[in-house]
Amino acid sequence: MNYLKETLFICCLLIFINGCSTSSISSRHQDAGGEMISDSFTIKAGGSYEECIELKPGQVFDYDYDASNFVNFNIHYHTEDGVEYPATSKGRMMGRGMIDPSTHDYYTEEQEFYCLMWDNLNDEPINVSYSCVLKNK
């Protein structure tokens, strides 16, 4: 478990050092459908942005995003043997889906984090908005 938290910390630190996101407005609240996380941010030209979400055992999450121009997008988590990608898309301006950790072979409850990542494919900054709803199965 320490390995995974250290890996996540290093990943987030590298993204922070690269200064990939120029602004961000984050919101998190609870409602009858579960916990909702939403954010809007700008990604500099050729940059990336990553948001990691902590899941509790038995939770799943729905996600959707919209970008002002084309992005590569993935949702990943770190294992002791590497990185697993339960969702990927390339060259899209929007996406949506559902993540259920119980369907992923390498995921363990001790890992806790799924990371959403956007790569700006453009020569100018872009805006991205996303939301996730974390809920119990």
Using CA atoms, how far apart are residues 71 and 46, in angstroms rounded to an integer? 10
- Identify whether the C-beta of residue 127 lies closer than 8 Å to the C-beta of residue 67: yes
In order of start, what are the domains of the chain with their CATH numbers?
Answer: 2-136 (2.60.120.680)
DSSP-derived pairing of the beta strands 48-54 and 113-120: antiparallel
Helix H or strand E encompassing 36: strand 34-43
Global confidence as pTM: 0.77
Q: How far is CA 33 from CA 29, 62, 114, 134, 135, in A?
A: 11, 11, 20, 8, 7
- Identify whether the C-beta of residue 43 lies closer than 8 Å to the C-beta of residue 118: yes
pLDDT at 31: 57
pLDDT at 9: 44
Consecutive 10-residue averages of pLDDT for the chain (137 residues): 46 40 51 82 98 89 97 92 93 96 76 91 97 94
